[in-house]
Structure 1
Amino acid sequence: MKFEMIENAFETETSFGQLTISGNDEYGFRPYQLLISSIAVCSGGVLRNILDKMRMPAEHISIEVKEVKRNAEIANRVEKVHLHFTIKGEAIDASKMDRVFELTKKNCSMVQSVIDSIEVVETYEVLN
């Protein structure tokens, strides 16, 4: 990836189109939004794969970012992210979900990349 400075942001061209990133959300995605999105969607993708491998396919997965805790005293860094997953699927065995989420956290590259600096809390509900 290569980023080019424009008036109020930086841009890069991806295979899906142009991505504009700015510290001001009037001009593009804010860096912390992309960080949180990466953690959430990586977790969701790994979750989906694990459910498929366990023969409990999800019909739908929704991920809500319930909380983002930032520390204004240390560069406004992200210290905690709470992700809440709503999983719908008739074959999903709710008694296995704690193990599913252990495996999800262990196998999500984004969560593993921030594990020593950002607390990632995952909660869930299963709808059949």
Structure 2
Amino acid sequence: MEFNMKKVGFFTELPYGQLDVSGDEEFGFRPYQLLVSSIAVCSGGILRRILNKQRINFDDLHIKADIERNEEKADRIEKIHLHFTIVSSDIDDKKMQKAIELTTKNCSMVQSVIESIEITKTFEIK
């Protein structure tokens, strides 16, 4: 990836389009938002794949990401909590817990930060 400077922040051209990144939300995505989004969406994509492979039917999957930052250390992200809400009559708590564990093992974004950011996950079935 290559990043080019703009008046405020940077941008890169990707196959899907231009990605604008800036410390100021008026001019692009903030770096921490992209990091948290990468971890949440990677986890969600892996979970979706696992559920599909297990032939578990579901109507919706929602992810809420809560973060804790440390102001004393450059606003470092210390913890990300992912809460998955799945709409399905085809899964129970035990199967979902197993799927969440597999998600952690197989998400490259989680594995990339696992020793520096605490990642926790919970779920609810509707």
Using the size of structure 1 for normalisation, the TM-score is 0.94
Aligned residues: 126
Alignment gaps of 5+ in structure 2? none
Which residue in 1 is equivalent to 2:54? 54
Aligned-residue offset at 1:95: 2.4
Which residue in 2 is equivalent to 1:94? 93
Aligned-residue offset at 1:3: 0.5
Q: What's the % identity of the aligned pairs?
A: 56
Check conservation: 1:47, 1:101, Cα contact below 8 A.
Answer: yes
Check conservation: 1:87, 1:126, Cα contact below 8 A.
Answer: yes
Measure, in 1, the Cα distance between the counterparts of 2:92 and 2:69: 35
Instruction: Return structure 1 stretches of 4+ with deviation > 3 angstroms.
Output: none
Using the size of structure 2 for normalisation, the TM-score is 0.95
Which residue in 1 is equivalent to 2:79? 80
Alignment gaps of 5+ in structure 1? none
Which residue in 1 is equivalent to 2:26? 26
Aligned-residue offset at 1:92: 1.8
Check conservation: 1:56, 1:93, Cα contact below 8 A.
Answer: no
Aligned-residue offset at 1:93: 2.7
Which residue in 1 is equivalent to 2:70? 71
Q: Give the alignment's Cα RMSD to 1 decimal.
A: 1.0
Measure, in 1, the Cα distance between the counterparts of 2:106 and 2:57: 18
